[in-house]
Amino acid sequence: MIVPVLALLALAFVAPGRKPPDVRRAVLFWSIGILAFLALRSVVPDEFLFGGSESVRRNRFQVRHLLSRKDWEKDPILILEGSSVIQYGVDGIALEKELSRLGCPATVLQFCAVGANHFERLHFLESFFASLTKSQQEKLKSARVILLSEVFDAYDENPLYLLERVADNERGIICLTPRNAWDGWRAWSVYAAEQTKLGRPAPRPVAEILIRHVLFNRFGLGAFSSMRWPDSRRKLPAFFAMEGSKPKFNYEEACAGYLTNPHGKGFSLPLPFPQWNVSFESMRRRLGSWVDEVGFFAFPTLEPHRLAYQVAFAQARPGSTKMAGPASPDEMSRLLDPAFWYDGTHVTGAGAKVADEWLAGEITKKWPCDTPPSHE
Amino acid sequence: MIFTTLAFLVFLLVLLPAYWALRDDRWRQWLLLAGNLFFYGWWDWRFTGLLLAVIVISWVSGLAVGRSGPGSRRGLVWMYGACTALLLVLGYFKYANFFLGSLQAAVERFGGEVSWTTLNIILPAGISFYIFQAISYIVSVYRAKVGSEPNIVRLGVYLSFFPHLVAGPIIHAGYFLPQLESKRRFDALLFFEGARKIVIGFLYKAVFADNLAPLVDSVFRAPAAQSNLSVFGGCLAFYGQIYFDFAGYSLMAIGVSNLFGYLLPDNFNHPYRAASVIDFWHRWHISLSTWLRDYVYIPLGGNRGSRLFQYRNVVVTMFLGGLWHGASWNFVLWGLIHAAALCVNHEWRAWREQRWTECPPAVAFCGRLGGIVLTQAIVFLCLIPFRATSFADTWAIICSLGSLIAGNPGTAVAFPWLLAALPLLADTWLVGQSRWRERFALRSNVALYAVLLLALLVGFLFMHVGSVPFIYFQF
């Protein structure tokens, strides 16, 4: 708080000199000053600049969790990236215990947040890696790291899905680094072209939001708005247990909808989406060598169109990849309980327990624990 | 378009060099008018028609009043006609639903039933400000304080000048029109003074006011659910927020005008240093209080006549001042409490002047200190109905504060007291000391450039992210 007050006092107690000030000289001075600021900004890590933000606190939790495990590099490291479905549906610590119980001990790290699109999650992942020390990074590279990406139609179809909702808030500013914004823009352009090809209304342009946020990001807008010195102890767990159900959600109706089409038939779009391919390629390129294998997972859902997408994606996914889910009707039968669903997509805390057991089983089936790291 | 947005920065960076690149003032005024309409249309282009209509009404009636002769009977008819038309526009957009709703509530309270519903009306941004300026122009022509303006572009620039278009300051025609008539020359001192004011205004608004806004919102959303100490904190935060928000906007408006070579009058003069309610109204929203004085209070008779007559005029003026802020009885209550305080203040002043012609410095100092505390307590309390959404909330907050004074703070909660108090203290007692500024100011061009840049960058780092609209936009 004291810094802006001092800035105010400095402004109040400064006046032009004896000669009148010169606008050209001032513009030159300001340009150099801004360039110097931008140069300084580029070497200051987000961890310091946005120390109190949700994104950094989420990352901090994952770093602490990883480092709290003894000899963590010896067991596989499972990274789950996803949206609110995963934030409310996967309890990483419970999943670790379940994997251990199944004889496949692993460290589970989660990079997920409500409304986080693929590019925000990618920023999470990069920031996580950057916040490790050199030796920890080396250890991570030597471990078997499997990244599981959530399969969810809305985020896969629109690479910048819900961007407008996070726009102008801290999360939107932090994740839109110039590189992320550029990759996001490329994928979004493909999406916009696809929409036109399919005869759908053109999506709202995002260029202005992206440019604005890149500027905000570079100038560290709002970095210290909490008026507190960044506290490195503040962390935020990835998992939140939901309770009750969403207003207006009718479980009986949703369940009946699921039971009429439990195999998810009737999806005829070209998959995977071309725009998703662009996002996926960006992720593979940018994560580099520290991830051994990229796979997918589809979280149980009651919504037929989401299930249909999961089923279609499972058939059309890139050839060399593996995928956990979608849940079969038999597996889903354990989850058909009104107490387990917050709405047709998100589970409650009680539902998460059952879903995590299913997910652990799927993971051990698809990624047996005796496979050595590939370092592709 | 809000001053603290990127869109405005781009707009300014395009308009300003283009403006100074033009040599002829006529072209500059055309450019400004186009810029003003673009600025206003950015919010909702449909209302640029309304703004143009106000300009045309003012121009035609100004010419008619001028031709009829200032002070003439025909001129009076034209003046009343134009002012009525403008007030009807204002009344329709701003007060129609308020009066319909109030009437409906009153009828239903007495067991009656009404068949109408409230209208679906969007309140155009800044309508109160530009309509008041239009009235100021027409009345000034009638009173022969300014000549009627034959050039509609010039009048349009005055009425729609973008820096003060949507939230003031309200400028008197006699102050601004002569500036449009004289040649604008680039003045580096004025330019840098403008830049300094913009950065101070930016800190006020984006750092101090906007960071207080969430605290205020959380307390005023459900005051009954808060501890007494939190309620006090929320009120203190609003006391700071409203000042920094509005004074910040006014400073930015004045600063932007300075960049274009125009002067606007000060709208705030450290009102939280005021030692009496009369003094407060000479320091707070000066352009509105001056407007109300010139166009309501004095025409009503002002202080000519008995004291009771003067107090009636004060009450009517402040009632209208409250209503000007918004179509809500809370604002009316705010205005009436200020009116009562002003009457008591006048009465006290008359009594004191009769009895104490001279008093020792120590007594004067204590009197001044007591005056500041009492005045600020009144202002502080008056802001409760100003911000609360209903009378019930206002009452709940006052009860909470009463309990706090009685020694019951309630459950202790963490509250950023420093954020709520430090900027206010620094601004009121350090920045507000003009003698200190004169004496201790660092006079150096390089220091000026550096401070402007550093303060702006500090503002970026500490500003609240997310859009918080200016409070006075709604008025």
**Cβ contacts (< 8 Å) between A11 and chain B: which residues?**
196, 199-200, 203, 451-452, 455
Look at residue B159 in the predicted model and tell me its pLDDT: 93
pLDDT in tens, B431-456: 777 788 888 888 999 999 999 999 99
Chain A interface, best mutation among B458, B464, B467, B468, by max A CB count within 10 A: B458
Look at residue B57 in the predicted model and tell me its pLDDT: 93
Q: Look at residues A363, A58, A264, A297 and name the one whose alpha carbon lies nearest to residue A156.
A: A297
**Are the Cβ atoms of B460 and A168 closer than 8 angstroms?**
no
Decide which of A288 and A248 is more confident: A248
Pick the residue from chain A with its C-alpha nearest to B416: A227
Look at residue B352 in the predicted model and tell me its pLDDT: 83
Report the pLDDT averaged over residues B163-184. Answer: 88
Residues 84 through 143 of chain B touching chain A, CB cutoff 8 Å: none
Pick the residue from chain A with its C-alpha nearest to B432: A12
Query: Is B325 assigned a catalytic role?
Result: yes
- List the catalytic residue out of B172, B325, B338, B346: B325
Dihedral over Cα of B180, B184, B189, B194: its sign: positive
Q: Where are the alpha helices (DSSP H) in B356-475?
A: 361-387, 391-405, 417-426, 434-440, 445-462
pLDDT in tens, B394-403: 889 999 888 8
For residue B187, pLDDT over 80 is answered with: yes
**Cβ contacts (< 8 Å) between A227 and chain B: which residues?**
211, 416, 418-419, 462
Place of tokens 């900027």: B423
**Cβ contacts (< 8 Å) between B208 and chain A: which residues?**
4
Report the pLDDT averaged over residues A261-280. Answer: 85
Of B450, B454, B464, the CB nearest to A222: B464
Q: Are B233 and B217 in contact (CB under 8 A)?
A: no
User: Does A43 lie at the interface with B, CB-CB under 8 angstroms?
Assistant: no
Decide which of B421 and A13 is more confident: A13
Chain A interface, best mutation among B189, B191, B448, by max A CB count within 10 A: B448
| Rounded Cα distance, B456 and B255, in Å | 14
Report the pLDDT averaged over residues B327-346. Answer: 89
For chain A, give every domain's residue range: 45-366
Decide which of A54 and A182 is more confident: A182
**Cβ contacts (< 8 Å) between B427 and chain A: which residues?**
8
User: Does A39 lie at the interface with B, CB-CB under 8 angstroms?
Assistant: no
pLDDT in tens, B239-260: 999 999 999 999 999 999 999 9
- Total beta-carbon pairs less than 8 A apart between chain A and chain B: 145
User: Does B455 lie at the interface with A, CB-CB under 8 angstroms?
Assistant: yes
| Rounded Cα distance, B201 and B216, in Å | 20
Lowest mean pLDDT among A58-62, A265-269, B20-24: A265-269
For residue B47, pLDDT over 60 is answered with: yes
Look at residue B118 in the predicted model and tell me its pLDDT: 62
CA distance B255 to chain A (A): 14
- Residue A112 host element (H or E): strand A107-112
User: Does B6 lie at the interface with A, CB-CB under 8 angstroms?
Assistant: yes
List phi, psi (to 5°) of A107. Answer: -95, 130
Of B422, B463, B466, the CB nearest to A1: B422
Dihedral over Cα of B188, B191, B196, B199: its sign: negative
Look at residue A371 in the predicted model and tell me its pLDDT: 61
Of A4, A12, A168, the CB nearest to B458: A4
Q: How many CB atoms lie within 10 A of CB A3?
A: 13
Report the pLDDT averaged over residues B358-383. Answer: 88
For residue B191, pLDDT over 90 is answered with: yes
pLDDT in tens, A84-141: 999 999 999 999 999 999 999 999 999 999 999 999 999 999 999 999 999 999 999 9
| Rounded Cα distance, B176 and A136, in Å | 67
Residues 374 through 433 of chain B touching chain A, CB cutoff 8 Å: 416, 418-419, 422-423, 426-427, 430-431
**Are the Cβ atoms of A7 and B188 closer than 8 angstroms?**
no
Res. A372 pLDDT band, cuts 50 70 90: low
For residue B463, pLDDT over 50 is answered with: yes
The DSSP secondary-structure symbol of A238 reads S
Ranges B64-73, B105-114, B264-273, B382-391, most confident: B264-273
Look at residue A376 in the predicted model and tell me its pLDDT: 46
Of A13, A37, A221, the CB nearest to B437: A13
pLDDT in tens, B284-312: 999 989 989 998 999 898 888 888 899 99
For residue B377, pLDDT over 50 is answered with: yes
| Rounded Cα distance, A107 and B434, in Å | 63
Is residue B443 classed as helix, strand or coil in its secondary structure? strand
CA distance A214 to chain B (A): 12
For residue B119, pLDDT over 80 is answered with: no
For residue B144, pLDDT over 80 is answered with: yes
CA distance A196 to chain B (A): 28
For residue B181, pLDDT over 70 is answered with: yes
Look at residue A64 in the predicted model and tell me its pLDDT: 94
Residues 144 through 203 of chain A touching chain B, CB cutoff 8 Å: 168-170, 173
Residue A92: exposure state from Cβ atoms within 10 A (0-12, 13-18, ≥19): buried
Amino acid identity, position A116 = A
**Cβ contacts (< 8 Å) between B450 and chain A: which residues?**
29, 33
**Are the Cβ atoms of A222 and B465 closer than 8 angstroms?**
yes
ω before B271 within 30° of 0 (cis)?
no
Of A4, A9, A215, the CB nearest to B6: A215
Is residue A294 classed as helix, strand or coil in its secondary structure? strand
Look at residue A76 in the predicted model and tell me its pLDDT: 92
pLDDT above 90 as % of chain B: 49
